[in-house]
Amino acid sequence: MIARNIRELIRIIAENHLIEKRTKTIQKGNKFAKCVRESNKIFNDLLDNNYISKCSVGEGNWADVPWLGIFDPEVAVSAQSGPYIVYLFSADMKRVYLSQGQGVTDIKKEFGQNGLKNELLRRSSLIKSRVPEFKNKFKDTLINLNGNTILSKNYEPAVSYSMEYHVDNLPENTILEENLLSIIELYSLLISRGGTDNSETVLTFDNVDKSTQEDIIETKKYIRHRRIERNSEAAKKAKQILGTSCQGCELSFDNIYGDIGSGFIEAHHKIPLSSLKEGMQTKLNPEHDFAVLCSNCHRMVHKTKPILTVEELRNLKGVKALRKFYNLS
């Protein structure tokens, strides 16, 4: 019963979920649940390695609303936080929505159930403002899942863009694939433009002149750089390979701060993000495409245009003095 394409997978879920749901819990070895979980291979074959996919009909108990999610690990690895692509089924299994969604769980923890809807709608509005060119392709109005659980109702305001399909009148699989690739393009551009981060917060942190568009653009690039640094597996591997001493001033955080600084360092991308096409994904070599820098050196290499190379950074008079001060030269 493993689905061969998106259309088959949608039909399998729509035709079987309500039948299986008559047993309140998902029994071990349930063939339908196993089929759905393993069918994420469909998306793995269609998309490149920059994305991960997960399919769920419930955990323990059957879900009111099954979903098929596609995640860019740069911003999200699960349905709990961050923006992601998701197929959401209506509770009656008559409709499915291809959606630009966002994680609900972490936002609920921060704002509580009472403040959740307004915050989800605010972030949905922010998403629409950052990728407005897709309003002609996808609907930007609220979806209706007809769910009975709080979770299924919370999904609705989390969606910014969507495309509705009726299960009894699904388009051909080639059309479904084309639509998925379109929303992946939307997703990729959204991430490159800041995702659901508040650029105002970082603008204040960077102390830039908000009246100049150029500074705002540069700050948004820095937002993206920081996000990749936090989430990229390549960046983590770079730190493992290159060590935790700054390659500029040679500061070692554990030498200065003791245990609380142990293992801390920042990964710097040698390839400027500004040189990449907007929304473009690129594979990075942990050893050759990164450097490890302390927070100060990392900030300084991004203060010039073009950014400083590590060698240029090391040759700055003050950085040379720091190396002597730390007795590490």
Average pLDDT (51-70) is: 91
162: left (phi over 0), alpha (psi -120 to 50) or beta: beta
* 242/77: higher pLDDT: 242
What confidence tens digit (pLDDT) does each residue in 30-52 have? 989 988 888 878 888 788 777 88
Counting DSSP H helices and E strands in the chain, the numbers are: 13, 7
What confidence tens digit (pLDDT) does each residue in 231-248 have? 456 777 888 899 999 999
What confidence tens digit (pLDDT) does each residue in 208-223 have? 444 444 544 554 555 5
Assign domain 6-192 to a CATH class: alpha beta
Which residue is it, tokens 């983590």?
236
Measured in residues, the chain has a length of: 329
Centre a 10 Å sphere on the Cβ of residue 111 and count the other Cβ atoms it contains: 14
Question: Is the Cα dihedral 95, 111, 108, 221 positive or negative?
Answer: positive
* 319/271: higher pLDDT: 319
* 222/124: higher pLDDT: 124
- Domain ranges within the chain, ordered by starting residue: 6-192, 232-325
Residues 6+ positions from 258 with CB-CB distance below 8 Å: none
Determine the distance from the C-alpha atom of residue 41 to the mean position of all C-alpha atoms in its chain, rounded to a whole number: 20
What confidence tens digit (pLDDT) does each residue in 189-208 have? 898 787 887 644 333 333 44
Question: Exposure string (b/e) for 244-275, b if CB count within 10 Å is 16 or more?
Answer: bbbbbbbbbbeeeeeeeeeeebbbbbeeebee
pTM: 0.66
Q: What is the spatial distance between Cα 151 and Cα 25, in angstroms, rounded to a whole number?
A: 17
For helices 213-231 and 173-192, give the axis angle rounded to 10 degrees. 110
The amino acid sitting at 272 is P
Residues 6+ positions from 221 with CB-CB distance below 8 Å: 273, 274
Residue-level pLDDT at 8 = 94
* 39/54: higher pLDDT: 54
Across 72-81, 101-110, 181-190, 196-205, least confident range:
196-205
CB 154 within 8 A of CB 119: no
Identify the DSSP state of 283: -
Residue-level pLDDT at 59 = 86
